[in-house]
Structure 1
Amino acid sequence: MLDDTRLAAHLAALRAAQGWTLADLADRSGLSRATLSRIENAEVSPTAAALGQLCAAFGLSMSQLLAMVESDFRPVIPLDQRASWTDPDTGFTRTVISPAAPPLRGEWLLCTLPADTTRSYDRPPRPGLEHHLLLGSGDLTVTVEGNAHALHPGDCLRYQLWGATEFHSAGGATYLLFLT
């Protein structure tokens, strides 16, 4: 599991490296200064939505951010050493199967979205981010820039991300997501 203290320190360091104040990051991310302060001081664990907003502000995918916190490049990632993170608000779980790390750009994720859960993102962490989503089980509707795609187990949805996305599951879903 991800260490909230290390994540908090890394987020504070990223902000400082940009020369941004908490107010600057609040403007760029849409999060309040108070929330940012609590996250950077490891007083709260950030939600998936908050991490998504921070990643967009820094121009990083969530896996890139989490890989920076976890460790250096390793060619083999044993099953018991995969980084996993659970959104404390929704129960959404994101496990990094293969993290982005120099020299590799692609990321492979295993995601579990609980029943009756919707996750929305206003913008991608990086314009043009390429997604390849394979639904393993359950039901999932992915709305990409206003176009809804109802997926069934085994379906693969491919797209480049320029705007808003929404993931919704009525009965719960497990899916693989490859990002590049």
Structure 2
Amino acid sequence: MDINKLIAGRVAALREASGLSLTALAERSGVSRSNISLIERGESSATATVLDKLAGALGVTLASLFEAGGDAPTPPSPLNPAAAQVVWTDPMSGYVRRQLSPALRSPMQLVEVVFPPGQRVAYDQVRREADVHQQVWLLEGEMEITVGEQHWRLAPGDCLALREDQQIVYANPGRQPARYLVGLVTLPFAI
């Protein structure tokens, strides 16, 4: 499976479903129109921060950009075999994410991440159409996570709960890769 083609199809489908032009999505996300066009054609390996900006502007989680489209003739299976799980590598930091959850439309998603030593990724949270909560459970290595002004250093076994409503910075200060599980839950905003 070509991961760039999968992302291309998802971004284009979500943009069209939202009734947004390339220009409107560019204005909402802060990502240039030309970059979005390249991503939608599968001609660009977007970084994690760019994909997060697009996901926020489209009102979805980053993890949902790695799901297969909903145009399949049969309902999605509740099983996502290891061999079918989508794996993506951030071209900037080299972190590897594996989409563990099945392609069901569920408010909960699970993602496994292997984060290289000495790397850092910052997500500037944009307006979302839903309230996204996540928990990060560190399995191996060490991680530093900063949410807004708060900072934590995680050791194996530590679990941190946070909301995606402000800047989040992930960094691996160690000499070994860090491996962690991210559980994401998406809730509609209360009216």
With structure 1 as the length reference, what TM-score do the two structures score?
0.89
User: Within 2, Cα distance between the matches of 1:16 and 1:67?
Assistant: 16
Q: Does 1:9 align with 2:9?
A: yes
One-letter identity of the residue aligned with 1:119: V
**Cα distance in 2, alignment partners of residues 40 and 92 from structure 1:** 22
Output the amino acid matched with 2:61: S
- Pairwise CA distance, 1:2: 4.7
Give ranges in structure 1 of 5+ residues lacking alignment. Answer: none
Measured in 2, the distance between the counterparts of 1:22 and 1:80 equals 34
Q: Deviations over 1:6-64 (max 9, x none)?
A: 32133223222323222211111111111111111211121111111110001111222
Contact 2:10 2:67 in 1 (8 A): no
Matched, 1:117 2:122: no
Alignment of 1:150-169 (within 5 A): 150-169=153-172
Give the whole-Å Cα distance in 2 for the aligned partners of 1:77 and 1:158.
25
Contact 1:4 1:45 in 2 (8 A): yes
Contact 1:140 1:168 in 2 (8 A): yes
* Partner Cα distance (2:153, 2:131) in 1: 22
RMSD (CA atoms): 2.0
Q: SS of the residue aligned with 2:65?
A: helix
Deviations 1:90-109 (A, max 9, x none): 2111101124622x321111
Structure 1 residues 2, 155: CA separation in 2 closer, same or farther (over 3 Å shift)?
farther
Contact 1:49 1:119 in 2 (8 A): yes
Q: Percent identity?
A: 32
Q: Retained in 1: the 8 A contact 2:77–2:103?
A: no
Cα gap change, 1:138/1:96 in structure 2, threshold over 3 Å: closer, same or farther?
same
What does residue 135 of structure 1 align with?
138
Across the two proteins, how many residue pairs are aligned to each other? 179
Consecutive unaligned residues in structure 2, runs of 5 or more: 186-191
What TM-score do the two structures reach when normalised by structure 2? 0.85
- Give the distance between the partners of 1:165 and 1:2, measured in 2 at CA: 28
User: Is the Cα–Cα contact under 8 Å of residues 141 and 168 in structure 1 kept in the other structure?
Assistant: yes
Query: How far apart are the structure 2 equivalents of 1:18 and 1:44?
Result: 22
Kindly state the Cα deviation for residue 123 of structure 1 after the two structures are TM-superposed: 0.7
Q: 1:2 to 1:94 in 2, by over 3 A?
A: farther
Matched to 2:24, the amino acid is D
Residue among 76, 86, 89 paired with 2:89: 86
